Amino acid sequence: MNPGAERFQSAVACVDDFEDVIGELTEPAFLPSFKRDKWGQIEATIENVTKAVMRPDFIDVEIRFDQFRDEIMFAPAGTEQWQTFGDADYARLRITLEKRNFKPVGRELIRDAVLLAADENPFDSAIAWLNGLKWDGVPRIEQFYHTHLGTEDTPFTRAVSNYMWTALAGRVLKPGIKADMVPVLVGKQGCGKSSGVAALSLVPSFFTEISFAEKDDDLARKMRGRLVAKISELRGLNTKEQEAIKAFVTRTPENWIPKYREFATQFPRRTLFVGTTNEDEFLDDKTGNRRWLPVEVKKISVEDIKSDLTLLWAEAKVIFEEDGILFRDAERLAAAVHEQYTIKDVWLETVERWLVTPDLMTEEIPRTREFLRAGDVLREALNIDPKNIGRREEMRISKILLVCGYKRVLRRINGKSQRVYEADVTTCNNLE
């Protein structure tokens, strides 16, 4: 038998034996007030069909809409054995109704009735799942990165662990809550990073893997019904798409046209991102680095994660309900850690040295100047011919000067407004 047919018929019984089952069922307190023809047969109207599919005691299955999965679901009446309502299930439901004395029900009519019935009876499978977990009272999540991912036991790794777990619970219990920082597991190939991230999801279908090379619409659909999303090797962090990546990571709702619907709908984000990389330097944008929480991992124990997973989620739920998402310590401590993982421009060391070295002729120290211009730095520090200086070179030196503690301002020089750089601190903020 087709697996789909078997699972539905297990709920409503084999259609050949349906009449026998009707006699065995306990009659509902009252039957829906169907409109019938003069022979007593139930008319196939949208009102009648909707009344029928909204009565589990009449069709022997309950139909609801899972807001987490964004899917119509059904379960045998009186159970919580939820399954996705598939295309073939419409036909099986039509057979059931005809066996219950309905006139033949059309394909569009049954679809409209099922959609309405589901829409009137929403539930959230992720919330129901998490609320069903019980914590034994033993603290685990603060030490999770150390005990399960093999990191050093530091205030930062504890803070990242607290953030990750409370953010995971928060995205379940309060859809769309702000959780715009991304833990990043940094480690050698083969240490179990990908398997470890996937193991955070107790239900395999709650996990997905994304790449920023995909279109936003495709990514939004891919995250439907997911709690954990692994960012594969953080591709794109040092590309021109950085602004788009930052916008995507910080976005709280998703927008797409869901199945069964005609119009685009906004869904609060339920997914938390966790990145992986084996690169020592992968951060490039100083202003956006606060969103990334890099942690060096050693040997990840997937078995230990799986063994403690329900208790970890249960503890995270309790802490989130008491304190919300614990993000402040992770955000505060990350600034010092970012330096270790920031991509170093080969020009940086030369410019740093030039800034504090007296000129051989004038003995002037460049850092003591009232302001600097990008072209001057490119010529004097790097000996680049003016004819070879373009916007790309100016943007590159601009980023270096910002790293070195300068700020970009507009000044009027020789009657013209020009963009220059003024020292914001007295010493160079070396990233080495």
List, for residues 348-392, the tens digit of each pLDDT value. 889 999 999 998 888 899 999 999 999 999 999 999 999 999 988
Tens digit of each residue's pLDDT (9 = 90 or more) over 205-250: 999 998 877 877 788 888 889 999 998 777 545 555 567 778 888 8
Domain ranges for the chain, please list them. Answer: 3-123, 134-341, 346-423
**pTM of the prediction?**
0.77
Token pair 């230990």: residue:
304
* Token output for 45: 């109207």
pLDDT at 425: 53
Helical ranges in 227-300 per DSSP H: 242-250
Instruction: Give dist(CA 165, CA 182) in Å, integer.
Output: 12
Task: Yes or no: say if 118 and 54 are a contact pair by the CB < 8 Å rule.
Answer: no
Let me know: does 272 contact 167? Beta carbons within 8 Å. yes
Burial class (CB in 10 A: 0-12, 13-18, 19+), 397: buried
Neighbours of 333 (CB within 10 A): 17
How does DSSP classify residue 257? -
Please determine, for residue 190, whether its predicted confidence score (pLDDT) is greater than 50: yes
Class of domain 134-341: alpha beta
CA distances from 289 to 121, 163, 294, 335 (A): 43, 16, 10, 8
What pLDDT sits at residue 12? 44
